[in-house]
Amino acid sequence: MGLFILRRIGIMILTALCLTFIVFWLTNLFPNLEKLAKTQGNFRMSDEAVLTYLGNNGYLQPLPVKYGQWLGVLPGYVIEGSDGQIRARCASGNEDIADAPTFCGILQGNWGYSTVFREDAGSIIATRLGLTGKLMFWVMLLMVPGALIIGVLAGMNEGSRTDRSLSTVSILSTATPEYVSGVVFISVFATATFGMQWFKGTATAAMDDANFENFFLPVLTIALYGMGYIARMTRASMTEVMTAQYIRTARLKGVAFSQIVLRHALRNALIAPFTVIMLQFPFLLNGVVIVETLFNYKGFGWTLVQAASNNDIELLLGVSIVSVFVVLTTQLISDIGYVFLNPRIRIA
């Protein structure tokens, strides 16, 4: 088991390296650097001024060198600018260059500087991730029990009227992407059009002070999308279990139906949905990009959109690392959890 986890962590690091290198390469393409220089300096800089700016700020070094500096395996640049001023990657603000550390990359815990928000990228990611965490927590709280109940109810009696109607609902909710359901919810429940103005169509206030009124719609929008999918998986797994020999035996013994479902079927039926639920975390990261933008909830997804559209190199890299970590960690948890739920599976 230990070896397995170790190997997984190795893969995680390798994936993070590959992904960040690709992002680094794309954001460091020259047109993107030019755009960055113009946002930072002036919207009407001449081409010479762009080159001086990029040169003075270390953007014109070879790609592997820049990447190495960002990682923290190569010493940060110290460049004497064309204006005679010495700039160092590791000296922030008014810090004296002599006092600055030699290495200041991600390995030293330095996430870099966001050019859009003019703040430390690490602290931005921490704040925004916290907000998204809050959103995810409530989504999970609504989605997982909801999906399991629907799935189990539908799967108890395959082909029954309950099964058909619940299946239709879950297929509908999975087939409706967030950007459709979100808009529909806002127009139905947050405007006076249908006389059902129960919720608020924006979640900006929920960042500081979340309540049912201003937070329910974004939570529902994300939760519904995943709920249908998990419910379908639960139903499939449940129907399979319900046809198993030992369930028939239990029935013949005269055990009550509710006892059969809760005691005998449920535990075995939950193995497959568990994996699906863990895999939903990465999908939720997708969903928050749309929903946070739609509801103006300034979390991780919104940050990703802002960073990408402004070519904010170091913030984008930070976002990538966090994404890799979330995806691979949830997979790891799902694999380990599987072993505990299903004794037939062994991890060497």
Partner 1 sequence: MTTQDQPIHPIALQYARDEKAGKLSRREFIARTTALGVTVPAAYGLLGLAAPTAANAQAQQGGSVRMQMEVRAVKDPRAFDWPQITYVTAGWLEYLVEYNNDGSFQPMLLESWEVNDNATVYILNVRQGVTWNDGTPFTAEDVARNITGWCDTTVEGNSMAARFSAIIDTETGQALEGAIEVVDEYTVQLNLPAPDITLIAGMSDYPAAITPADFNADTMLENPVGTGPYLPETVDVGIRATLVRNENHDWWGYAAGKGAYLDRIEYIDYGTDPSAWVAAAAADEVDIIYETVGDFVDIFNSIGFIESSVASSSTVVIRPNQRAEIDGMRPYADKRVRQAIAMAVDNAVCLELGYASRGEVARNQHVGPMHPAWADVPALPHDPARALELLQEAGMADFEMDLVSIDDDWRKNTTDAVAAQLRDAGFNVKRTIIPGATFWNDWTEYPFSSTDWNHRPIDTQTLGLAYRSGEAWNESGFANAEFDALLAEANAIPDADNRRVVMRRLQEIMTDEGVTLQPYWRTIYRHAKPGFVGWDMNIAYLPHIYKIGIAA
Per DSSP, helices labelled H in 205-270 are: 212-242, 245-253, 257-259, 266-269
Q: Which is nearer to partner 1, 49 or 60 (CB)?
A: 49
Output the smallest distance, CB 177 to partner 1, in A.
18
Q: Which is nearer to partner 1, 80 or 213 (CB)?
A: 213
Q: Which is nearer to partner 1, 36 or 140 (CB)?
A: 36
Rounded to whole angstroms, the Cα distance separating 195 from 185 reads 13
Sign for the CA dihedral angle at 218, 222, 228, 230 comes to negative
Output the smallest distance, CB 212 to partner 1, in A.
13
**Cα separations (Å) of 51 from 29, 31, 83, 136, 178?**
14, 12, 13, 43, 42
- Paired strand residues for 114: 119
Q: Which is nearer to partner 1, 44 or 346 (CB)?
A: 44
Calculate ∠ Cα 166-203-318, nearest 5°: 95
**By CB neighbour count within 10 A (0-12 exposed, 13-18 middle, 19+ buried), where does 27 fall?**
buried
**Cα separations (Å) of 78 from 27, 28, 67, 84, 148?**
22, 19, 15, 12, 57
Closest of 176, 187, 184 to residue 227, by C-alpha: 176
Output the smallest distance, CB 243 to partner 1, in A.
49
Query: Which positions lie near partner 1, rule CB under 8 A?
Result: 35, 38-39, 41-45, 49, 93, 116-118, 186, 190-192, 197, 200-202, 204-205, 214, 293, 296, 298, 306, 309-310
- Cα 347 from chain centroid (whole Å): 27
- Paired strand residues for 80: 86
- Paired strand residues for 87: 79
Q: Which is nearer to partner 1, 99 or 208 (CB)?
A: 208
Q: Which is nearer to partner 1, 50 or 222 (CB)?
A: 50
Question: In the numeric block, which tokens belong to residue 57?
Answer: 């700020």
Q: How far apart are the first and last CA of the chain?
A: 6
Q: Which is nearer to partner 1, 136 or 206 (CB)?
A: 206
Output the smallest distance, CB 197 to partner 1, in A.
7
Rounded to whole angstroms, the Cα distance separating 196 from 345 reads 51
Output the smallest distance, CB 155 to partner 1, in A.
39
Q: Which is nearer to partner 1, 243 or 309 (CB)?
A: 309
Output the smallest distance, CB 181 to partner 1, in A.
16
Output the smallest distance, CB 44 to partner 1, in A.
5
Output the smallest distance, CB 309 to partner 1, in A.
5
